[in-house]
Amino acid sequence: MITVERLTKRYGAFTAVDDVSFEVRPGRVTGFLGPNGAGKSTAMRMMCGLTPPTTGTTTVFGKPFAELVNPGRRVGVLLDASAQHVGRTGREVLALSALTMGVDKRRVDEMLELVGLSPKEAGRRVRNYSLGMRQRLGIANALVGDPQMLVLDEPVNGLDPAGIRWMRSLLRDFAEAGGTVLLSSHLLLEMDAIADDLVVIGHGKIVAQGAKSELLAVAGSVASSLDDASLLAALRGAGLEAETRPSGGLSTPASPEEVGRVALAAGIVLTGLGAAENHGLEELFFDLTSEHGREEVGAA
């Protein structure tokens, strides 16, 4: 588990991360969302001990990251796929990590196969890798220590649709095996497909967090009847808010049970009644962050 408590980072007068608190739980994929410049990358760097916080703490498995013994065996990290030694081959990058962590060298070939880098590609210098290949190598490097947790910042950048699908499957399997995943991505459709929990940040502050299903849920009902005008009047007469829908019928914050009771009392025949449809993640994201878009250049 990752526990973030009141994490703050200031650069002079600019506050990149402002009093952020949340948890990342085992067996779940937690999506970390926010506009460019919202503070996601800075927060993730502080969690991994790469950037000192101004105030606040982060614990990983109950300890600060810097206090973990052989941290690569506990936490796999990919914060910047371009930050790899361009003069080494892909295989050399993984072999050095395996040697540093005391991992069996056979793990190198296993990870190259897992991420889809062929022997020929593994023998190339990283300077000759595409962004997608660097992402795959970065994931292999994060996994080579057989960690229990992954912290990944925009890991699908540069991947083609097949690669994105592969990444989704890999992370889903990792979480379902009991692993912990913190994932930052600007691809909302992919986050919608994979995340169990969401943490949404804007201007360095948490603007929403919780289970994705709860954040996307919409209270209320949609209803249609043989006489929608009368149903609208009956609902409003009962003190319930309601409005007509462009596609027909009515929407209301009232529960289906409340709508049914009002219709019955008014003698109105309902032709349809159900819970309101959930928000899409894209709609939720823009609703939450419309006032928190990037206004100035600062720490990402």
Three-state SS across 29-97?
A: EEEEECCCCCCHHHHHHHHCCCCCCCEEEEEECCECHHHCCCHHHCEEEECCCCCCCCCCEHHHHHHHH
Query: Are residues 55 and 163 both part of a single domain?
Result: yes
Is the pLDDT at 41 greater than 70, yes or no? yes
Strand partners, 270: 225
- pLDDT the model gives residue 116: 92
Is the four-CA dihedral 211, 216, 218, 222 of positive or negative sign? Answer: negative
Domain count, the chain: 2
Confirm whether 40 is domain-assigned. Answer: yes
Q: Which of 89-93, 252-256, 283-287 has the lowest mean pLDDT?
A: 283-287
Query: Are residues 162 and 269 both part of a single domain?
Result: no
Confirm whether 52 is domain-assigned. Answer: yes
- Rg (Cα) of the chain, in Å, rounded? 24
User: Domain residues for 22?
Assistant: 2-74+147-215+285-289
Coil, strand or helix at 269? coil
- pLDDT the model gives residue 292: 53
The overall pTM is greater than 0.75: yes
Confirm whether 92 is domain-assigned. Answer: no
Coil, strand or helix at 264? helix
Please compute, for residue 30, the number of CA atoms within 13 A of its CA located in the half-sphere on the CB side: 24
- pLDDT the model gives residue 120: 96
Q: pLDDT band at residue 171, thresholds of 50, 70 and 90?
A: very high
Query: Are residues 235 and 250 both part of a single domain?
Result: yes
Confirm whether 135 is domain-assigned. Answer: no
| Whole-angstrom distance, CA of residue 4 vs CA of residue 120 | 42
Confirm whether 90 is domain-assigned. Answer: no
- pLDDT the model gives residue 64: 93
Is the pLDDT at 84 greater than 60, yes or no? yes
| Whole-angstrom distance, CA of residue 235 vs CA of residue 238 | 5
Is the pLDDT at 189 greater than 50, yes or no? yes
Mean pLDDT of 74-81: 93
- pLDDT the model gives residue 294: 46
Confirm whether 232 is domain-assigned. Answer: yes
Q: pLDDT band at residue 293, thresholds of 50, 70 and 90?
A: low
Whichever domain contains 210, its CATH number is 3.40.50.300
CB 153 within 8 A of CB 184: yes
Dihedral Cα 51, 37, 142, 151, nearest 10 deg: 80
Query: Are residues 62 and 159 both part of a single domain?
Result: yes
More confident residue, 129 or 282: 129
Confirm whether 237 is domain-assigned. Answer: yes
| Whole-angstrom distance, CA of residue 287 vs CA of residue 247 | 22
Mean pLDDT of 52-59: 96
Is the pLDDT at 297 greater than 60, yes or no? no
The token pair that represents 55 in the structure block: 């105030």
Mean pLDDT for the chain?
90
Mean pLDDT of 245-258: 90
Query: At CA 133, angle to CA 129 and CA 137, rounded to 5?
Result: 105
Could you give phi then psi for residue 164, rounded to 5 degrees?
-65, -40
Query: Are residues 14 and 39 both part of a single domain?
Result: yes
Query: Are residues 259 and 171 both part of a single domain?
Result: no
Is the pLDDT at 63 greater than 90, yes or no? yes
| Whole-angstrom distance, CA of residue 207 vs CA of residue 200 | 6
